[in-house]
Structure 1
Amino acid sequence: MSPRATSEISSKIDAIVDEISDELIEIRRDLHRHPELGFEEVRTSGQIQKYLDNLGISYQTGYGKTGIAALINPEAAGRLVGIRGDIDALPITEESDLPFASENKGVMHACGHDAHTAIALGVATVLSRLSSDEAGRAMVLFQPAEEGLGGARAMLADGVFDQNKPDAMLGYHNWPLLDGGTVGWHPEVSFASSDPFDITVTGMSGHGAHPHLSVDPIVATSQLIAQLQSIVSREVAPLSSAVVTVGKIEGGTARNQIPDTVTLQGAIRTHSEDVRAATKEAINRIAEGVAIASRTKIDVAFLQGVGVVKSDPDILENVVGCARDVLGEDNVICLPQGSMGSEDFAEFSSRIPSAHLRIGSKAKDRKTMLHRSNFDLDEICIATAVRVIANAVVRLNAAK
């Protein structure tokens, strides 16, 4: 496709986005008012289906319970480009004073997945209004349960790619540290791996006045936590990235009793598979050592996590180049480092050449961040993302 033709399509995309922006914002606010937790997004899924029905876009439901896969121009020639938008909320009580604040007590869109859903619907709208020759083929995934519940894995297990597997995948996440109207990218790692772990430290209970007749799991636990923090400082290379966090401790019921057990919950995050494996090995080794030294029994269980999100260089080059054309050079920011947050988009990017962008969403009226109870975003991020991603789909298909 010639540069002139591409420019003409970009102008068409701009016109469509201008036309639908207000509607996409209303969709986002409706979803924000009615948030649903992972695998429970029944209303959310229903609203998405109504919107797709109005567009005349074909789709299939039931992937990961509430997930949806929509196909646009399925008969067109060339590669199939996938776009993933996540749809779930978090178990957080909203304290934002927004006029469209959550009406579902204890549940909140504190990570902006309401906007992500609106973006995915916007991209679907734009591509459906272009001709099949202009847009090419696309698959838009509306994914449930991104927040640590394995929604991407569930969609794959239900066969979302059995009949139509994308040749390239595009992912995105709003980013409150960047101004609205910008996008960010990183040439290597977008998001870290994340591996949750549970640890049980078992001793022998007894009276606090006679510790020598007991085996104290609380003392052993304190030694274990201190030693776990030495992994990053003393076993991971200083220029490598890793985090070991213990976020929950439970043990004991009385000030004068030594309990039988203490339980810990935590997670490790890394930017490379080698560091990921080495950190797991170190946790197991340290647990064995502390158990011997403290006469306790320590059991470590790693739960199913997600891998590192890395972009394919060729796909990323196309997407970043497209973003520069659409937004201008100054509004496309090469980030100094990848995030230590995790994203189960890794389930897709580990299987399919992919690119992932962070969409500037810094709120103008509050200081906030992802997963805070006062979270909100600059809604310009919706139109920004739709423009960039729709143009990227066109460019990727033109480069087939």
Structure 2
Amino acid sequence: MKRLVLTLTCFIISISVSSAQELKSKNVTPKKNLTHEVIQLETDHIFKKLVEIRRDFHENPELAGHEIRTQKIIKQYLLDLGLEVDTNIYGHGVLGILKGGQKGKKVAWRAEMDALPNDYPDKVAFKSKRKGVQHGCGHDIHMAIALGIAEVLAKNKNSLSGTVYFIFQPEEETFIGAKGMLNNGLLSKISPDEIYGLHVSALPAGQIMVKPNEMFAYQKRISIMLKNELSDEEAKVLTKKIHSFLSRASTGSKPWEIQKMVDPKIGLMNPGTIFRDYLIVDQNFTISSKNDQLLLEAYLYETDSSRLKDIIPKIKQVIAASGYKDQLLSVSFIQENPTVINDKQLTGIATETLEHIYKKGIVTTAYGQIPFFNDDFAYFQQKIPGVFFFLGGSNFNKGMVAMNHSPGFEVDEESIRTGVKCFSSLILERLSKN
């Protein structure tokens, strides 16, 4: 009997040593490798359920300020996972708090809840049931991913070091939800060390894109007020001169053609992208008159923050050169939303982490800045170091193009799987880092 026990003991030790040597040769930590493997298995296990949830959100979209049903579903889902839930923050927002079994860092994940006021053609069978309201920007995908991350991590909370905050934010499309949550005391209830978020994009599904610093161009709306002494034709000629004088792009490029963002030769992933160093100005200004005033307004998009200060002086220069200096009453920015600016250090760490866990190339560097779009995630980044990612949602072989805010916007739901597994792993790693 003793000899049998000794033989079995030697056998077990031999197996353990052999396994440890094999893992060491692969430069893998047993516990960490197992954890990320579990994350992938858990993601696959709940994927079908997350697709159903996403489709339910898609069929029942709610505009900014009206996310009542959406809030109810998210709240119950998080409660069922055992999270602490707070809906008394701002609007119809939801805060889920997941406390790990060990002390560690505090990491926040943010997802938007609201839909768009449009009625574009929608290819999917699970079309919106609400006329004039659609999830045409991918927020239904974002919510499904966030719920998936919450579920994967909640099932393994005893192995988590730290706390995860899930911020489901209302009113993003109106650019007021993030600011509202912060102004209403969100950070008096939670104290995240870092914050992360994403937006589905026209990139191929399975692809993640990020860059340090600005992800979008700076968006401004310019307002020019003149005495109402110009004819309609004179006003149009003046706006064309302003447009021509301000606009800037590299020779032959058209950065306003946003559909080219995925073009491998000139898109965001190419160092020679057309989406860098530009100033785009609306070609057609809004022209209106009231009483004795003529108002000219337009949006513009500038990639270089240092050049923003030159815009108003240049407009005044054009007006003076056109002979209307005495008619000018004022030039000002009437809309100056902040832009998403990724923390440089965290962006580098996140990229390295994801590529180490999964595969080299899953994260692509963006070499430019997207015009026309923006995200009020920027307000969170003003308070908390954070990173905002682009998540690929297109499947060109299936004719799916996830170009936000456009007719035919369609997302490959495999992007949900990518989002859940990759960012669950990223959060897990960040929680344990000092």
Query: Normalised by the size of structure 1, how large is the TM-score?
Result: 0.85
2:429 to 374, 377, 395: 395
Question: 133-142 or 22-31, which moves further after superposition?
Answer: 133-142
| Post-superposition offset of 1:274 | 2.0
Q: 1:240 to 1:142 in 2, by over 3 A?
A: same
Question: 88-97 or 188-197, which moves further after superposition?
Answer: 188-197
Can you list the C-alpha shifts for 1:142-185, whole angstroms capped at 9, x where unaligned? Answer: 11122243211111111111131211111211111x21112112
| Post-superposition offset of 1:132 | 3.9
Can you list the C-alpha shifts for 1:10-29, whole angstroms capped at 9, x where unaligned? Answer: 01111211111111111111
Q: 1:287 to 1:121 in 2, by over 3 A?
A: farther
Query: For residue 179 of structure 1, what is the amino acid of its counterpart?
Result: P
Q: 1:51 to 1:264 in 2, by over 3 A?
A: farther
Question: 295-304 or 181-190, which moves further after superposition?
Answer: 295-304
Q: 1:47 to 1:277 in 2, by over 3 A?
A: farther
| Post-superposition offset of 1:42 | 1.5
Do structure 1's residue 347 and structure 2's residue 379 form an aligned pair? yes
Query: For residue 231 of structure 2, what is the amino acid of its counterpart?
Result: D
Do structure 1's residue 50 and structure 2's residue 76 form an aligned pair? yes
Q: 1:124 to 1:199 in 2, by over 3 A?
A: farther
2:416 to 378, 382, 394: 382
SS in 2 for 1:329: coil
Q: 1:380 to 1:239 in 2, by over 3 A?
A: closer
Describe how 1:296-375 pairs up with structure 2 within 5 A: 296-340=327-371, 341-363=373-395, 364-367=398-401, 369-375=403-409
1:70 to 75, 80, 96: 96
Can you list the C-alpha shifts for 1:76-130, whole angstroms capped at 9, x where unaligned? Answer: 5222111111111111113113211112111111110110111111111112111
State the distance in 2 between where 1:26 and 1:221 align: 51
Describe how 1:62-211 pairs up with structure 2 within 5 A: 62-73=88-99, 76-134=102-160, 136-176=162-202, 178-204=203-229
Do structure 1's residue 223 and structure 2's residue 244 form an aligned pair? no
Q: 1:302 to 1:26 in 2, by over 3 A?
A: same
Please tell me whether the aligned partners of residues 393 and 401 of structure 2 are also in contact (alpha carbons under 8 angstroms).
Answer: no
State the distance in 2 between where 1:247 and 1:127 align: 49
| Post-superposition offset of 1:233 | 3.0
State the distance in 2 between where 1:148 and 1:368 align: 21
Name the counterpart of 2:53.
Answer: 27
State the distance in 1 between where 2:73 and 2:102 align: 27
Structure with the greater alpha carbon radius of gyration: 2
Query: For residue 345 of structure 1, what is the amino acid of its counterpart?
Result: F
State the distance in 1 between where 2:338 and 2:39 align: 34
| Post-superposition offset of 1:373 | 2.4
Query: For residue 123 of structure 1, what is the amino acid of its counterpart?
Result: I
Query: For residue 381 of structure 1, what is the amino acid of its counterpart?
Result: S
Query: For residue 174 of structure 1, what is the amino acid of its counterpart?
Result: V
SS in 2 for 1:100: coil
| Post-superposition offset of 1:247 | 5.7
Q: 1:90 to 1:202 in 2, by over 3 A?
A: farther
| Post-superposition offset of 1:273 | 3.1
Report % sequence identity: 26
- Aligned residue pairs total 379
2:277 to 232, 240, 243: 240
SS in 2 for 1:63: coil
Please tell me whether the aligned partners of residues 288 and 298 of structure 1 are also in contact (alpha carbons under 8 angstroms).
Answer: no
Q: 1:91 to 1:324 in 2, by over 3 A?
A: same
State the distance in 2 between where 1:299 and 1:103 align: 46
**Gap regions ≥5 residues in structure 1:** 205-214, 253-257
SS in 1 for 2:415: helix
Please tell me whether the aligned partners of residues 201 and 217 of structure 1 are also in contact (alpha carbons under 8 angstroms).
Answer: no
Can you list the C-alpha shifts for 1:253-273, whole angstroms capped at 9, x where unaligned? Answer: xxxxx9966544432323343
SS in 2 for 1:386: helix
State the distance in 2 between where 1:159 and 1:5 align: 38
State the distance in 1 between where 2:314 and 2:142 align: 37
Name the counterpart of 1:266.
Answer: 298
Please tell me whether the aligned partners of residues 251 and 262 of structure 1 are also in contact (alpha carbons under 8 angstroms).
Answer: yes
Name the counterpart of 1:210.
Answer: none
| Post-superposition offset of 1:396 | 0.9
**Gap regions ≥5 residues in structure 2:** 1-27, 250-274
SS in 2 for 1:373: coil
Please tell me whether the aligned partners of residues 242 and 275 of structure 1 are also in contact (alpha carbons under 8 angstroms).
Answer: no
Please tell me whether the aligned partners of residues 58 and 72 of structure 1 are also in contact (alpha carbons under 8 angstroms).
Answer: yes
State the distance in 2 between where 1:132 and 1:229 align: 60
1:276 to 308, 333, 336: 308
State the distance in 1 between where 2:97 and 2:122 align: 36
Name the counterpart of 2:320.
Answer: 289
Q: 1:302 to 1:64 in 2, by over 3 A?
A: farther
| Post-superposition offset of 1:222 | 3.1
Give the alignment's Cα RMSD to 1 decimal: 2.8
